Homo-oligomer: A and B are copies of this chain.
Amino acid sequence: MDTRLKGDFTLPGEAGYEKLTLELAEKWGADVIRDSDGTKLSPEIAEAGYRIYSTICIIREHNAFAAAHPDAQQQCFLSSDPVTAEGEVLEISPLQGYFTEQFEVNDTPEALAYWEVRDRTAGCPVPRENWQWADGKVKVSGCTPWHRYTVSFLCWRIWEEINMYNHTTNHWTSEHLRQLDPRHPEAWEYLKGWLENWCRENPQTNVVRLTSLFYNFVWIFGEDLRRRTRFVDWGSYDFTVSPAALKAFEAEYGYALTAEDFIHQGRLQATHRIPTAHKRDYMDFIQRFVAEKAKVLVEIIHKYGKQAYVFYDDSWVGMEPWGRYFASVGFDGLIKCVFSGFECRLCAGAEAPVHELRFHPYLFPVGLGGLPTFMEGGHPEKDAMDYWLHVRRALLRQTVDRIGLGGYLHLTLDQPAFVETIARMADEFRRIKALHGEGAPAELPVRVAVVHTWGSLRSWTLSGHFHETDANILIHINEALSGLPVSVKFIDFAQAKSGALADCDVLINAGRAGDAWSGGDAWKDPELQAAVTRFVHDGGCLIGAGEPTAAEGGDTFLALAGLFGVDVDDGAYACHMPWSFETEAAPFEVCREALTPKPGVRVIDPETKVWAAEGDTPTMTCRTFGKGKAVYLSGFRYSPAAAAMLLRLLRSVTGCSGEAAAVSADSRVECAWFPASHALVLLNNAEEPVTAEITWPEGKKAFALEPLETRFV
């Protein structure tokens, strides 16, 4: 590469490594230097002419205030594990089994009013007069012997969870950091004053990098190391709860939430599950609260002539970038850490002036999964390249404005390969961004809508990173879509019923029966079934994966089994024989490795074409209905080859020739055509050299690519 672009790169500086900081800033073309959790910038760095980002975790690092105002700490509901009554009385220690360094019972009168004892066997609450809290135990009387009882209770969260995680993982010995609830009036006043003061005292800072806002995602530790993490849900709102929040909710909504709205039989309404109406109300309530408070902070920051960027992770809850209140906060930038392509699209597509990606690996001895990165046994350059392979294909479709790294810069000292890899990656990013600047890349005329319970609120992501959700088929599909030259939107079921299908060619529903992604009870709705049936009849394509459209109580397991011509036997097909079938060649090359077989899948219509099968189990089928098609995939596992197959499938079912954009004849190579620049970008996803024939609006040619190469033509 001859012409090296510069800038759009955020470098983590480190005091004590001033020379290294400035060298790498030059090498990687940085225009911004930031601090990180655990690092500081020295004046030498801060005054070197770079823009400066400073990281603030607004609710943390106020232990003195927390000690003086313990009631300003954050809270949550927990449920004891069920205890079986052997007689008519029973004692339950609510916190038993929970990590007592994280939680402390909140038995203030206003909290106790929300406590609840439940008979889980009978599925009903125990009357208040039948239990009392004394001596650290809940004593229940009038029990039905052999029923199981639980106590739902409020507790203080006395250890900020990210700090707790770092402590327990890395054996830190520093003070446990606490966290304040901005809903607490004195805490809120204190936090605003603290931020004003901080801004005053840090004139060199150009950008306050908020990490993030107020409420962390839910992470519940257990005392026993055999189940240290009891529950972790990146999308849960359960750490926003307090009596004050519940009272404010009741005042506004006219009904009271109870412990059971959160505890939900001990299942805690995970994001992957279908939310109750109460939970939806509560989420909206919190989203508005978070946006209002964040707006105040942003205004303070602006008052001091600084910009406010927000990092979307950790204490992000209530601040979904695709949520309806995000734009109202007035952030100047959104920063997203990325492992995957879908995270890139999540960031790039959000409504914010500046979109920045923080790349992985974080400059830290171990990675998120606990494996070595910047220490013996680690290969950070390989990790970086691995993530880049996911991200670059998404950037090709929609770019962000900036990229960067985080962590301890000195860890790169013995990693020349890593330093080179990042340099190359930063250059490639800048070239991709420049192309986008000249004009958008060509897209195929294929409009995809992914439908699930959360709709656009959870565009691209499910609940956290790929590796945290990879048991869900949809994240594999989202990851594949993130790098395809098609248009993609995320809609909910109400939208699917009311016109959102009119401007789409392909509707995707992928999940497990009863989960938020498949949709569960939503599919009981005849209007929804009819809308999708009509969509297909009129020429649309429905792609279902896993247990799409599954709803209880119907005459089939998948509500639209008749449309797919396949169904899943959960036992209800007892004594009914499926149609025998012969596999037919699909009109495109099938990537069998992508199609995880699923026991119980059966053909229920003689017109169903089976495009792939494992033994007696179809793994990919297609049924024509009217002018459209319904395609079923038993599973879908992301890989570049799987993504290439998905593109072939999308083109096949929409009859899209591919003339409008660039198309690769080889599954290992992806490509994009930028018409304004007359530029072609080719990505070799394979670790071997590949010669691939590329067809684009202005030509057709075979290109020989190096392993993993990004080629700008």
Which residues of A come within 8 Å of B, CB atoms? Answer: 82, 84, 86, 120-123, 144-148, 218, 224, 226-227, 229-233, 236, 265-268, 270-273, 463, 512-515, 526, 529-531, 533-534, 537, 552-555, 562, 570-581, 606, 625-626
Contacts and interface: CB of A to CB of B under 8 A. Distances in A.
A626 B146 CA distance: 11
Contact of A571 (B272, B578, B606): B272
A23 to B, nearest CB: 43
B272 A529 contact: no
B233 A575 contact: yes
Contacts of A84: 533, 537, 562, 625
Contact of A572 (B148, B273, B533, B576): B273
What's the dominant secondary structure at chain A's contact region?
A: loop
A599 to B, nearest CB: 9
A251 B145 CA distance: 44
A152 to B, nearest CB: 12
B575 A227 contact: no
A551 B562 CA distance: 27
B579 A82 contact: no
A146 B575 contact: no
Nearest to A578: B227
Nearest to A463: B575
Given A84-B562, A147-B529, 15 more contacts: A84-B533, A121-B530, A123-B554, A144-B526, A146-B533, A147-B526, A147-B530, A227-B577, A229-B577, A230-B577, A231-B577, A265-B554, A270-B575, A272-B574, A513-B571
6 contacts: A120-B554, A146-B531, A231-B575, A267-B555, A272-B571, A515-B574
A129 B2 CA distance: 81
A537 B265 contact: no
A371 to B, nearest CB: 18
A147 B579 CA distance: 23
A342 B402 CA distance: 71
For the complex of A and B, 8 pairs with smallest distance between CB atoms: A265-B555, A146-B530, A272-B574, A146-B533, A270-B574, A270-B575, A233-B575, A122-B526
Contacts of A224: 579, 606
B227 A530 contact: no
A576 B231 contact: yes
Contacts of A570: 513-514
Contacts of A534: 145-146
A268 B512 contact: no
B121 A526 contact: yes
Contacts of A123: 553-555
Nearest to A82: B562
A579 B144 CA distance: 29
Which among A231, A268, A513, A571 has the highest number of chain B CB atoms within 10 Å? A571
A431 to B, nearest CB: 40
A82 B575 contact: no
A320 to B, nearest CB: 18
A266 B231 contact: no
A227 B526 contact: no
Most buried by B among A147, A531, A574, A575: A575
A627 to B, nearest CB: 11
A574 B82 contact: no
A82 B605 CA distance: 11
A617 to B, nearest CB: 14
Contact of A515 (B144, B513, B571): B571
A271 B575 CA distance: 9
A626 B85 CA distance: 12
B530 A579 contact: no
A268 B555 contact: no
B581 A537 contact: no
B148 A562 contact: yes
A226 B226 CA distance: 52
Given A82-B555, A146-B534, A574-B515, A606 B529 contact: no
Contacts of A86: 537, 626
A530 B145 contact: yes
Nearest to A120: B555
A121 B559 CA distance: 8
A147 B527 CA distance: 9
